[in-house]
A and B are shown apart, each in its own frame.
Chain A
Amino acid sequence: MSVTVIIAILVVAFLAGMDGILDEWEFQQPLVACTLIGWLLGDVTTGVLFGGSLQMITIGWMNIGAAVAPDTALAAVGAAIWVCGPAHLTVAEGLAIAIPLALIGQGLTVIVRRLVVKLVHYAERSVRQGNLNVITRVHLLSLTLQGLRVVIPTALILLVPTTLMQTFKAGLPHNVVMGLAVAGGLLAVVGYAIVVNMMATKWLWPFFILGVVLAAITALNMIALGLIGLALAIIYVQLQSQTRPPSGPDDEMDELDRELEDL
């Protein structure tokens, strides 16, 4: 690995780390991060393939309110280095290793989020003393810390000798290797469960059932299924606003009022 490639990988790690807190540009998502790492390591195909598989697992990981989800940034960058790089782990092995990395990343972002409390106090004191530029500086410093919390572990991952990873890989029993491949196809259900858990209220379950059943018709691709879902949503919302008595008459009154005013 040349120095340029190493620096470029650390830049991707920095972007992913910053986006781990921002949740804006999506550099922390496996589809983006693994593709970039694969591209830098000269194997973009594996990067895309692994990114797609890891994305399916992390699909339900989201930061809501004050809750911190497992970290996709370190998981995606770290595991992609081992899958696309000279260690050549399989996609399934990469997925298995991504899970502990996600937990480490989660722990690190929690530490930074605590640390930033102190920085914000410092900023508030400085503002009271008349220094306003401190706001932008402290904000960007905190963001940099979030980037570094992925850059530093990534650098450590790059330091792990390839031979060590290959010895580790060769030492895995056959049943474990195949079991990991089985798990690769199944792990996504946890993510789906998280998403469903967030949305599900009693009246929504019929739509879930419709989705499951219609998915069995293989002639319908995902775009067609998405359009059916969209149509169902629009129909439901329209019917409901028509049948709900309190909003109906009010709207009519408003329209009458407006027409009277126009006259």
Chain B
Amino acid sequence: MTSANNQMPKTLTRPDLFRLFWRSSFEQGSWNYERMQNLGFVYVMMPAIKRLYDTPEDQRAAVLRHLGFFNTMPYMQSTITGVVANMEVQRANGSQLDDQAINNVKVGMMGPLAGVGDPIWWGTFRPVLAAFAAGLAQGKASLIGPLLFFFGWNIARLTFRWQSQKVGYSLGVTITTKTGNLLPKLTQGASILGMFVMGAVIPRWTSIEMPTVIARVHAHDQLEQLTLQNVCDRILPGLVPVLLTLICLWLIRKRVNPIWLMLGILVLSIFGYSIGLLGVK
């Protein structure tokens, strides 16, 4: 600690920060059932640890204090890495931050950030982008679908990782007070958008046909057949897919494994076609 006084203050260079950012895209590589992303977090932090601590003992201590349990939504880890890097810089320059303080910040942030990141990234953005791109891919087999999905996702993800790491690094622990107000609003807004889009996607992109003729009506001087599908469509377009989704939702909440639901739909489809209730458009 005496050496800190007669040296240049230690800091991370821009290439260092870029290395943290690059490694972040591989953070979950060693995900394991015991301490989950612990080794991944250290893997990301390695360039910073090597820059900030000179002696092998200090480096080893830094690695070991970051090997504790860690798990969050992977993209939100960039924010935490930024904040932790900020604290490590302070510590390397002689501040009194102990292991416990750094670990408390890490563990304290991972839960709330996962709570925001999961619904926004997995719950909203990916389904919306994927559904949109898959719609393009299914319709005209257009290459634009996959390209839009791949580049749209990665540009958004990498921009977010770089920016949030930067903000985390410059604000340090004060980030929790500065963004505390924004996060719930963001989650709320994303959930609204997600629910709305799911509501729109279900009737649009599910196809069902029930060809059973239940009535014959005279219209425009012609005998028109009214199928079960026509009747449902007249009540509300997309009625059956929405009802099916709600049944699946109810069963998922009863802890039925989704794979069983899919196998169930396979069996019902084959059975339904055999008895003539379900058809192909």
Interface residues of A (CB under 8 A from B): 18, 21-26, 29, 31-32, 35, 44-46, 48-49, 51-53, 55-57, 59-60, 62, 64-66, 70, 96, 99, 102-103, 113-114, 116-117, 119-120, 123-124, 127-128, 130, 132, 135-136, 138-140, 142-143, 146, 175-176, 178-183, 185-201, 204-205, 207-216, 222, 225-226, 228-230, 232-234, 236-237, 240-241, 247
Contact = CB atoms under 8 A, between A and B. Distances in A.
Nearest to A251: B181
B199 A199 contact: no
A229 B193 contact: yes
A21 B31 contact: yes
Interface of B: 25-36, 38-40, 42-43, 46, 50, 56, 59-60, 63-64, 67, 71, 74, 114, 118-119, 122-124, 126-128, 130-138, 141-143, 145-146, 149-150, 153-154, 157, 181, 185, 188-209, 236-238, 241-242, 244-246, 248-249, 252-253, 258-259, 261-263, 265-266, 268-274, 278-281
B107 to A, nearest CB: 15
Interface of A, secondary structure class, is helix
Most buried by A among B25, B207, B242, B266: B266
Interface of B, secondary structure class, is helix
A197 B196 CA distance: 14
A185 B208 contact: yes
Contacts of B137: 31, 35, 48-49, 51-52, 55
A215 B238 contact: yes
Nearest to B233: A216
A215 B197 CA distance: 9
Given A179-B273, A187-B262, A23 B197 contact: no
Contact of B191 (A23, A127, A204, A240): A204
